[in-house]
Structure 1
């Protein structure tokens, strides 16, 4: 009897040790609420709109992540992440099953990780997450820049190989390359006799965070963004990307924390190179702050100036105000107030026709040159 008990206990120990060496986690979040916009595009120009709005502070998602300890500091890892709408249950990112992320790879202590699949660029990883109002407050997708032209929040690269370094006393860095997967188009060059090429991408990132101070920079280059999957927005402030053969975005940001307060600043510069004609440059200057009034209540504010430069010029000014109340570690409610105004012209069209929003969540303003939006939201993480 004693031998049987000892044998059973031994197997239990080994089973427990084997289980501890690998793990699979189901995770996600749902963000839902009601939004109001004073000027939304209508059949006759513009009108007020009150709507159910999903995924504003963060996009709703569910995912699976896992690791396996291979010994000697080496691990296998994977992530599969789906985006969806809580309004109607449909999948996001063009209907892809795992449109947010889908990758597998290896990591090594003291060296970093090498991963393969659909992954975020370093513009999103470094700048969008650490140095933007959208990433640091619940203003979220309302605060990111027009149609996410500078890749702060939705820069996902297909067919990519990505190296992310370990943390060296606060310094991290990395590089990635996204293959076009088309014969004869390794660098995304167009086929002979055509003006449309394949979408390939590469990205680099560098970040230093030590104590209260952080600074980071990133660069992302995407050829033929209209050929990406899912495709980019067809127009950005009256600039069509259907004939753009290269989108290049560079940015640098900084952050400083003292006590319950955090300050940040961010600059991005995005250049659209068309197959024919002159290039277009889109620059954004951003600054913001947040303050933890209590452990449960945080207030945030951000200001962004966006500038479009091509044959003509356009200007956008946006102010974001937010307050977030944590009911628990996983559930919070929040309120937002956002105002944006546009001026200038692009070609023969007034910019007000495309003032639009930071992303498609806001909705275009029709014939108005400004928009005022309010939102009450609930977010639950699991």
Structure 2
């Protein structure tokens, strides 16, 4: 009898240990195709055509994620995700010939309460845009909310928000009465923007918060982010600014100095009408010089639709407007106007032909135009991409 009880106990212990083993999933996206990009900056016009492995529709990536059941409704989880570029000898184009870290974090989750994680993670605004962008954050010109990658041409990549923070703590509740509340805190490290692998600001302290609400076919998002940096990156494309290459009397790299305060906010919504899904979004990004009252701001609003025309053909369209404003720049240079502004517009058309649930062919076209100002000439650009995307 005792031997039987011991055998049962041993089997139970083994089953519990086996149940507690972690499960790991390998996932990724490979998006390759052909791109054409035309940009205009004042009287300078540039045309580029290329085979691209950066992904016109989605940035290629390789990831690993896993969970482990800790018992009592607790679980541990991790994600490690890296950028890929199939046409680049270093896979991601990182300066150190390694993989660019898109996100890597580990955390704990309690069912019915929420989760916490530490590592390199997406910001609340980036997650909110992902749920409310008709173009699903593709890499072509024409989207005024999600700025394109640097590969789309000089002067066309001014960022509208920060995509990820390194050295970040995130908190998120489980969905309750339709609501999920999230927060992020970044302490004394660098944040990275999607416009360049080295973009963003260093020696940075930042925080953010977001709210997502879902009711039937309605989705609503609101998110804010604030950061303070004592070593802002020199790249003008990391902030909301008039084109640096056209600024008179200012250093072309960074007109606000090293120490800046950055405030960002986003509001978006979607509604599924059945035959199509409607999208709307608004973003604001303001950078304030801490040594003076000089500031640069970018605001934009966009609407769009997305729908399956046939069971295999999916199409989307978006259009938006925005404005760059610069105030009190004369505090930085007497040769510069005190204020200036530029208006911009953008639109995008795209389609997918689904060969299977994981593989599709796509075609995307986008265009953007920016007016001139007292310190910057007009500019514009258009790009198209055709290719094949496979998820695994």
TM-score calculated relative to the size of structure 2:
0.78
- The corresponding residue for 1:133 is 134
Question: Which blocks of at least 5 consecutive residues in structure 2 are unaligned?
Answer: 148-155, 191-200, 245-253, 327-338
**Secondary structure in 2 matching 1:224:** strand
Number of matched pairs: 339
Question: Which blocks of at least 5 consecutive residues in structure 1 are unaligned?
Answer: 183-195, 353-369
Matches within 5 A, 1:1-382: 14=14, 18=18, 21-39=21-39, 45-53=44-52, 54-90=54-90, 91=92, 97=99, 99-126=101-128, 128-135=129-136, 143=143, 144-145=146-147, 147=157, 149-151=159-161, 155-180=163-188, 198-224=203-229, 227=232, 233=237, 236-239=241-244, 240=254, 243=257, 245-274=260-289, 275-310=291-326, 311-345=339-373, 347=375, 349-352=376-379, 370-382=380-392
Distance 1:232 1:16 in 2: 55
Distance 2:181 2:158 in 1: 23
Deviations 1:195-218 (A, max 9, x none): x98212111000101221011100
Q: Is the 8 A contact 1:238 1:346 kept in 2?
A: no
Query: For residues 98 and 65 of structure 1, do their structure 2 counterparts lie closer, same or farther at Cα, with a shift above 3 Å needed?
Result: farther
Query: For residues 148 and 345 of structure 1, do their structure 2 counterparts lie closer, same or farther at Cα, with a shift above 3 Å needed?
Result: closer
RMSD over aligned CA atoms reads 3.1
Q: Is the 8 A contact 1:134 1:141 kept in 2?
A: no
Distance 1:113 1:198 in 2: 27
Offset of 1:295 from its aligned partner? 2.3
Q: Is the 8 A contact 1:164 1:175 kept in 2?
A: yes
Offset of 1:76 from its aligned partner? 0.5
Deviations 1:199-250 (A, max 9, x none): 121110001012210111000112228547x978466432536625111101
TM-score calculated relative to the size of structure 1:
0.80
Query: For residues 41 and 200 of structure 1, do their structure 2 counterparts lie closer, same or farther at Cα, with a shift above 3 Å needed?
Result: same
**Secondary structure in 1 matching 2:160:** coil
Offset of 1:57 from its aligned partner? 1.3
Q: Is the 8 A contact 2:35 2:56 kept in 1?
A: no
Q: Is the 8 A contact 2:81 2:103 kept in 1?
A: yes
Offset of 1:169 from its aligned partner? 3.0
Distance 1:337 1:278 in 2: 36
Q: Is the 8 A contact 1:58 1:141 kept in 2?
A: no
Offset of 1:166 from its aligned partner? 0.5
Offset of 1:67 from its aligned partner? 0.5
Deviations 1:311-346 (A, max 9, x none): 111111111000111111111110011121111215
Offset of 1:97 from its aligned partner? 3.9
Distance 1:162 1:232 in 2: 28
Q: Is the 8 A contact 2:256 2:295 kept in 1?
A: no
Distance 1:265 1:330 in 2: 27
Query: For residues 16 and 30 of structure 1, do their structure 2 counterparts lie closer, same or farther at Cα, with a shift above 3 Å needed?
Result: farther
- The corresponding residue for 1:359 is none
Query: For residues 294 and 118 of structure 1, do their structure 2 counterparts lie closer, same or farther at Cα, with a shift above 3 Å needed?
Result: same
- The corresponding residue for 2:248 is none
Offset of 1:41 from its aligned partner? 7.2
Distance 2:178 2:93 in 1: 34
Distance 2:230 2:389 in 1: 32
